C-alpha cells in the first residue's frame, strides 16, 4: 500500500489526529526531509516507534499494550507518529492464545483510532480468540474510533477513571486538492468511477457522493461490529454509542460502551485469581441517563422505536478497584422511573404466573377433594405436579379409611361346629354292611 493511498483512505480516527497525520505526510510527499530529532525535541520525549510485545505476568495473565494511532504496517507512519501496527498486533494476540503459559490476555489500549485497513481483521481475531482464553480491554486515557472497534471485541471493557475518553464511533475521509505551482497533471481513465474523486482536481458532486457512499458503508460495518461485540442491536448502537461523540467516564458506562471502572492491576489480579470470571462476553447495559442524553442530541434509532427503560450498569466507585452491584435503594435514587417500570413489569409477570399456577392446580381435582384443591390453589406456592401428588395421597388415605370403616361395621362371624367324632348312622349303609358280613361268614363255614 502506498503512503498516499493510506492517507487518503477512510479513517476511524479523531479528526484532529487525522489532520496532524495529513500534515506530516504532506511534508513527506513534497519531498521535504522530516526532522525526527526536531520533532522529539519539540515533544520533549523520544518518539515511540516500536511495536509492544505481550508480557506474561503472575497467574498466566498476558498484557499487550497498544498505544498510538493504528495503521496496517510498521512503516514511516509509526516512526514519525508512533502507534500500532494492526498486523503485528494480530500476530501478538494469536501468539498469546497459543502460548501455554498464558491463561488470559489484557489489552491495555490508549489510542485515538487509526486507519480502517487492518482494524476489522484485528477485531475479528480478538472476537474469535476470546472464546478460547478470556480477553479483557482496559484503557486509562483514550479508546476512540478504530481503537474502540478493536477493544470492544474483548469479553469485557473497562476504564480506569472518570476522565477517560471512549467512543467517537464514526468514519472520516478527506479530499485534498492542492495543485502545486507550475505543476500540470493530465489523467486518462476508463470507467465512470475510476477517478471520480481525483486528487488532482477539485471534488465534484458525483465525487462527493461516491466518497460519502464509501464512508457510509464503512460506518455500517463499524456499527454492526460494535453491536456484535457488545451483545446488542445496531439500532441501540446508533442511538446511544455511534453518533461520533466522545463519552467521558461515567458517560461511557451509561451508553453501554464499557462495563465499569477498574484499574489495569485490578483486572490482572482478578484474571490471575480466576480467569473464568471473564470467560463469557459481557453485554452492553444502557442506562436511562444515556437514553435521555441521546434524545437531547437528536439521535434516534433507525426505526425510532418507543423508548424502553433499560437497567443501569453496575454502580461503581472510581476511587476503588471494586465493581459494586447496584442496590434497590441506589436504583430508586438514580433512576426511579426504571425502578417503577421494573416493578410494573414484575407485577404483571407475577400475576400471569400465579393465574397459570392456580389453573394447573385446579386441573388435578377429584370428586371429594374440592376443599383440598382450593386450599392448594390459593396457598401461593403449590405447583400442578405437587397438587397431583397431594390429591393422590389424600385419595389413598380416604380409601384406606373407608375400608377400615366397612370392616368395623360388618357383623361378627358365626362360630362353626366342631367336626363329628362318630360317623353319622345311615340305615341303608348299615344293612348293606350287615349283608356283606353274613355272606362272608357263610363262606367261611362252608
Residue 198 known to be catalytic: no
Phi, psi dihedrals of residue 133, rounded to the nearest 5° = -135, 140
Closest of 327, 331, 321, 313 to residue 261, by C-alpha: 321
Orientation angle between helical segments 370-377 and 336-362, nearest 10 degrees = 170
Strands 113-115 and 142-144: unpaired
Strand ranges across the sheet with 70-71: 11-13, 113-115, 70-71, 84-85
User: DSSP alpha helices (H): ranges in 192-284?
Assistant: 205-230, 234-240, 250-254, 264-273
- Cα-based torsion angle of the residue sequence 368, 372, 374, 378 in order, rounded to the nearest 10 degrees: -170
Interatomic CA distance for residues 78 and 59, integer angstroms: 32
Cell numbers placing 22? 495529513
Instruction: Spot the catalytic one: 81, 111, 130, 145.
Output: 145
Cβ contacts of 121 within 8 Å, gap of 6 or more = 86, 90
* Half-sphere exposure at residue 204, Cβ-oriented, CA atoms within 13 angstroms: 10
Question: Taking a C-beta distance cutoff of 8 angstroms, is the pair 251, 286 a contact?
Answer: no
Residue 283 known to be catalytic: no
Interatomic CA distance for residues 258 and 251, integer angstroms: 9
Interatomic CA distance for residues 51 and 186, integer angstroms: 41
Closest of 338, 322, 330 to residue 285, by C-alpha: 338
Phi, psi dihedrals of residue 61, rounded to the nearest 5° = -95, 115
Residues labelled as active-site residues: 145, 194
Amino acid at each position: 500500500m502506498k503512503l498516499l493511498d493510506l492517507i487518503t483512505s477512510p479513517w476511524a480516527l479523531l479528526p484532529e489526529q487525522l489532520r496532524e497525520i495529513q500534515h506530516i505526510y504532506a511534508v513527506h510527499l513534497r519531498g521535504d526531509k522530516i526532522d525526527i530529532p526536531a520533532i522529539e525535541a519539540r515533544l520533549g520525549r523520544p518518539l515511540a516507534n516500536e511495536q509492544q510485545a505481550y508480557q506474561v505476568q503472575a497467574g498466566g495473565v498476558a498484557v499487550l499494550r497498544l498505544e498510538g494511532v493504528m495503521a496496517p504496517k510498521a512503516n514511516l507512519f509509526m516512526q514519525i507518529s508512533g502507534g500500532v501496527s494492526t498486523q503485528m498486533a494480530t500476530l501478538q494476540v494469536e501468539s498469546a492464545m497459543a502460548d501455554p503459559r498464558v491463561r488470559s490476555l489484557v489489552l491495555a489500549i490508549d489510542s485515538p483510532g487509526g486507519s480502517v485497513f487492518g482494524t476489522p481483521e484485528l477485531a475479528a481475531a480478538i472476537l474469535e480468540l476470546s472464546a478460547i482464553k478470556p480477553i479483557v480491554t482496559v484503557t486509562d486515557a483514550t479508546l476512540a474510533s478504530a481503537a474502540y472497534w478493536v477493544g470492544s471485541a474483548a469479553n469485557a471493557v473497562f476504564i480506569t477513571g472518570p476522565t477517560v475518553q471512549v467512543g467517537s464511533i464514526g468514519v472520516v475521509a478527506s479530499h485534498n486538492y492542492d495543485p502545486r505551482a507550475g505543476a500540470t497533471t493530465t489523467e486518462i481513465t476508463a470507467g465512470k468511477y475510476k477517478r471520480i474523486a481525483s486528487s488532482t482536481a477539485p471534488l465534484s458532486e458525483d465525487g462527493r457522493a461516491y466518497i460519502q457512499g464509501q464512508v457510509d458503508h464503512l460506518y455500517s460495518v463499524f456499527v454492526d461490529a460494535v453491536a456484535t461485540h457488545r451483545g446488542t442491536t445496531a439500532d441501540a448502537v446508533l442511538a446511544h454509542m455511534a453518533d461520533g461523540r466522545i463519552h467521558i467516564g461515567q458517560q461511557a458506562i451509561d451508553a453501554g460502551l464499557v462495563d465499569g471502572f477498574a484499574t489495569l492491576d485490578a483486572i490482572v489480579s482478578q484474571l490471575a485469581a480466576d480467569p473464568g470470571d471473564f470467560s463469557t462476553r459481557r453485554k452492553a447495559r444502557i442506562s436511562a441517563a444515556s437514553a435521555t442524553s441521546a434524545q437531547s442530541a437528536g439521535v434516534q434509532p433507525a426505526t425510532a422505536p418507543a423508548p424502553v427503560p433499560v437497567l443501569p450498569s453496575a454502580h461503581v466507585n472510581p476511587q476503588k478497584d471494586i465493581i459494586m452491584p447496584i442496590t434497590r435503594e441506589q436504583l430508586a435514587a438514580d433512576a426511579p422511573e426504571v425502578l417503577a417500570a421494573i416493578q410494573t413489569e414484575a407485577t404483571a409477570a407475577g400475576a400471569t404466573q400465579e393465574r397459570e399456577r392456580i389453573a394447573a392446580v385446579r386441573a388435578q381435582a377429584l370428586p371429594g377433594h374440592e376443599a383440598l384443591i382450593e386450599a392448594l390453589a390459593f396457598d401461593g406456592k403449590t405447583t400442578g405436579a405437587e397438587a397431583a401428588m397431594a390429591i393422590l395421597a389424600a385419595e389413598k388415605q380416604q380409601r384406606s379409611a373407608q375400608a377400615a370403616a366397612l370392616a368395623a361395621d360388618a357383623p361378627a362371624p358365626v362360630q362353626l361346629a366342631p367336626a363329628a367324632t362318630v360317623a353319622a348312622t345311615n340305615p341303608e349303609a348299615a344293612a348293606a354292611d350287615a349283608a356283606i358280613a353274613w355272606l362272608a361268614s357263610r363262606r367261611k363255614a362252608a
